[in-house]
Structure 1
Amino acid sequence: MLFAIEEINNSTDLLPGISLGYKLYDDCVFIARAVKVALALANGNEDVSAPSEKPCTRPAQVPAIIGGTFSSPCMAISTVIGPFYIPVIAHIATCACLSDKTKYPSFIRTIPSDYYQSRGLAQLVKHFNWTWVGAIRMDNDYGNNGMATFTEVAQQLGICLEYSVAFYRSDPPDEIQKIVDIIRASTSKVIVTFLSPTELSLLIHQMSHYNLTGYQWVGTEGWIIDAYTAAMDRHHILDGAMGLSIPKAHVSGMTEFILDVKPLNSSSQELFTEFWEILQHIRKVHFKTKEGDEVYFDENGDPVAKYEIINWQPSENGIMDFVTVGLYDASLPADKQMVPVSVCSEKCPPGTRKVLQKGKPVCCYDCLRCAEGEISNITDSITCVRCDPEFWSNERRDACVKKEAEFLSYEEIMGALLTAASLFGTCMTAVVAFIFFRYRQTPIVRANNSELSFLLLFSLTLCFLCSLTFIGQPSDWSCMLRHTAFGITFVLCISCVLGKTIVVLMAFRATLPGSDVMKWFGPAQQKLSVVGFTIIQVVICILWLTISPPFPFKNFHTFKDKIILECALGSAVGFWAVLGYIGLLAMLCFFLAFLARKLPDNFNEAKFITFSMLIFCAVWITFIPAYVSSPGKFSVAVEIFAILASSFGLLICIFIPKCYIILLKPEKNTKKNMMGKGATKSS
């Protein structure tokens, strides 16, 4: 203070022609003493201990008061002095409440308001992603108002306070112990403080009993560059502390002045005798110091808010260095630094979503993995998004991938085996047809209408080949072709077998005396019956294709992670009508063949027809539950298997015995042997 007054009085630029006088008082940080002195200065009733060498030319009432010290004394002084509009200029009081000009109209300060410091601390904490913190403050105007602003801004920035506690230096030890217990029980690793060095010393002394280290301390200008606090922290509780400090300034001539000045132990205050003569428009001042720093006040009497970001870094000699790592002001963010993270819950990675923990702040949450078919591709997502029907979530649940399309293809083993079986059946049928054509004049081929036999072989060939339409990716034409081709070819096949069965019955009935039944079921009638039975199935298929034909369909429901490409039936009635008509003809054929199985003949074809129809009916009866219960491409494989099994059953039961006689037992391939006992009796 003395140096500042001397600088002004010796300057030709600052207050030219005016000499400043002064009176110095120590309020000892007591509010009552500060108010008493301020009132005495305002009223001109202060005691003058000794006359100065050069009397003042002004009355004893001072035009301005510089001080007091901290926020609470300044609030008291400004409250009682404000109505007199005597400027009160403070250099330490930082409480944001002092910016309220309705309560403190004459208060001005040269230190920034805690309004900016509180916001700066909140932005500093947010900058390092410390979203889960504890807060400790002095239980006075400085601590309560500063922490209130910090809490408000922190909540806006998404920062949560696990606890916020207050104490004062005069509190009993039990109160400080309670705060230590809260810190010990907490999960946050960052502690934000609005404390003076005195309160902080009491707190860390109590914490040292429990070796509570490893916390990231964030402090205000009140203690962040206090060398005494750093020196007494022998347990390294505050190592790595960060906070905001008033920018350091070099004042030229200050060191020399302090070294030259006499000790201020004289009550006469003989160094300077002139009283204050100063300033009618103090709020409008705007000047630069010798060091180039601008000095001015805003409408609230506050200077520009600039802070240095301080970090405590231990040096090799054990002394704590206060290292400036950044700068903060009202318009600029702090420099980026990498420091430990203090959060209640770690960030939720992609593939998960946040679920708040019951009864805890929004910073505390669990990360739940997205369900199957859902993803989240951002950090800290609050929801999972369901993939489109044709896509599925990957293993990490952070991206939708296209579902694998599944159908019975020729490339896979099952498709290749079924294709091979189909081609083998076709070739086998062709070989049988060749044998029958080669020996078409023999009795065993000519018996029972050889034309029906060749037509049956042709229809069996079509049955084997129609199974190939079920393999491969479904398309419009393949879906319509597979079921209709299957239905028509099998009806043609069963119609031929039915015709041969009727021929057997009619042939033996014709041997009875006076019977002319064969004229009613000769070759022409046999062909017409086959055509008639087949036309009925053709009509059913035409109606099915006209009303509601089968179509390719993407099945998303059978498997979650696959698309089943299949043929929808279109009309279920049409499908089961086709199968039902085939089953009706098969049952009729089986019934007639069963009746003719014991008719006299060395080669009674009705026996083999009975076996073939028994196999046919057994295959298709077991097909129905197997088809309904098989998922995806396996239902197609079941249908192909039923087609091939029934076709092989007809081919083997009806034609292989005849081929055996033709090729291996030619001596039995005679008319006499064919008639057997019947021929002997007639002779």
Structure 2
Amino acid sequence: MLTTTCTLLYCLHAFSSSSPFGLSLSGSCNLRGATHSPVFSMDGDFVIGGVFAIHYNMMTEIHNHNTMPEPPKSNKYYTMLSFAINNSTELLPGIKLGYQIHDSCAAVPVAMQAAFQLSNGQDNVFYKDKNCSQSGRMVAVVGDSGSTQSIAISLIIGSFDIPQVSHFSTCACLSDKKQFPNFFRTIPSDAFQAVALAKLVKHFGWTWIGAICSDSDYGNNGMASFLKAAQEEGICVEFSESFLRSNPISKIQRVADLIRRSTAKVIVAFAGMGEMDVLLEELATKPSPSRQWIGSEAWITDTNLQRFTFCEGAIGFAIPKSNIPGLRDFLLDLSLTEVVASPVLTEFWEKTFKCTLKKDGDTDKQVCNGSEDLQKVPNDFILSSQLRITTMVYKAVYAIAHAIHNVVCVDKNATAQCDKHLMLESKQVLTALKKVNFTQNGYSVSFDTNGDPVAAYELVNWHKGESGNIEIILKIYFVCMSVCSDRCPPGTYKVLQKGKPICCYDCIKCPEGEISNTTEFWPNAERDSCHPKPVEFLSINETLAIILAFFSVGGACLAILTAAVFFHHRTTPIVRANNSELSFLLLFSLTLCFLCSLTFIGAPTEWSCKLRHSAFGITFVLCISCVLGKTIVVLMAFKATLPGSNVMKWFGPLQQRLTVVLFTFVQVLICTVWLVLRPPFPMKNFSTYKERIILECALGSAIGFWAVLGYIGLLAVFCFVLAVLARKLPDNFNEAKLITFSMLIFCAVWLTFIPSYVSSPGKFTVAVEIFAILASSFGLIMCIFAPKCFIILCQPKKNTKKYLMSKK
């Protein structure tokens, strides 16, 4: 049966740190300095070490370097932590776990001494035929209480692959497996708590705070994580100060005065119990304005600090409270004989009952007579259901026990068989700890790849009870306001104060017509309330949009009607003379040009913004390509009438189609690149008008937009030049003249469009673009097809081959 009945009580003596051992002439290793017995110990088949910060203050002496220095002595005991009780017959049956528990006094030198002591064992001399690093039987260590001490311990015992499981070291730096490969913990990392504290402060609207921390790995790393999270939450910090309980009193006084003078009413303290104790003691010497304290888990549940009544209302995150079955009875089962035999228990007994066990001791105290009863003591020592950090020790011990079990025991037929004579190496336990995953008394224990457990916290609040004492509760009864500047009232806006954080600002009266700096709202006439700004776009319900849509649909119908007339008279000379295939393709493209203007009407969406510009660019290039093809046909036809010319065979129907496809493909490629890289998108324009919002399509890439327009213009100019060259060719019905007029109108419209587009405000920008599309489309259809339709319908006598071929 496993028995881990190790209870760590208040202790009296600290231990001196030993120097590294030296090598004598006889070939043996000798420790320089005496070994010191642990606070509590018990032999066992396998031994677990423990290092805890039971005392928090030390007294040191000035050394003369002539004699061996005296060890630092603790002058104040602090708390009790417990190893737990296990009566399970399934875990390590037949194996007895021993323990050695040391007090680090929350000091790195003492913690290092304990680490060397646990690594080396109790022997003073190690002979050359023995491996010094294997002289101890320690398979794992629980502790320390502080992060800085745990770092020192890990760097020492890590060299021997001894696993370390801490119950109260929360520095996020310890999650670095490259530096601390042997470190595990049962308490969450401060990386989680820092973010949680920042969100807590933000939840209550406290945007102006002060910050203090312990000048240690725990405090500095935790505060750095908190300040980063606070900045992301928009919280401003008036000051951030670090200190240690061992600093000169002048340093503590400066920190206290800084808190008294601060304008921030909320103070976040990422500090240890020792630092908070000396700081609150200093703050209690002079009246201080009321402050809301935000505490880290290191001190927020410390009952000793609740004597400071001015801390009423302190809140923070704590390790969840829990119950360890059997622990209460174990703690109360102390006989006077056991107490007298232990200096630690003697100190605890004398402090608790205010008596002395020494007959020749302090005459101001009565002698303890043995009738003292722990069950009558109103102390958290009795309230094992309120245990928080003690549970972390409980989990750590069981995690190590499970790891040892997985190495030395074999489960057969639901019964474990263990070999207590196995030469257990600490490295085996280290490997097994990484895979530990179990549930004990409702508590789940496992470690991630960084050696951290699953993070869980309770939100606690200090509240003054009916008796006037401070109590820890799980509800928030009141909050205060802590801001650098009050919220600006309606009719004013924020102006940042020079040299101050963004939370500090002045409230300046808004200019005429304004009430708020919020961009989507606008004040009423009285400037005492805000209303949403009207959103403006070219709606289909507007008169302007209806007129433009009418002409758009009318133009498309006109192009279709023209195509119908041409199709009905497709065998007549005037239709056949000017390349009927290109004419029908041109009418089809003009129909699309008219209809694409409809995509510009209505509220812009992601798809409509992409469609309107790409459809406009492609259809117009298709249209100009057809006109260009017709122009080239006219030139080629004239060349073909010259004696011996066979030029038409190089620009036949196939070449005409390929020309149109090639010119159009280039525009398709430009539009595709534009839409893929930086396509147009809907946006709200707040800058054009203050009193309303313009909903419009942003170009995405201005280069893409002007590339589309530039390519259309290039083709139009090229077509215009060719048409001008062919305008005086001897023909009774010269189509080049019609193309020249159409291109002249087309270029004039789009040259006028550019300055109008740039200067038109709001929805009128869209209207100008639609007008340019419709005007240029009507110019093409009227100049090229209207004269032909007039002859076909009104002057059929001219629709003959003889008339068309005759000279003027």
TM-score (norm 1): 0.50
Rg larger in structure: 1
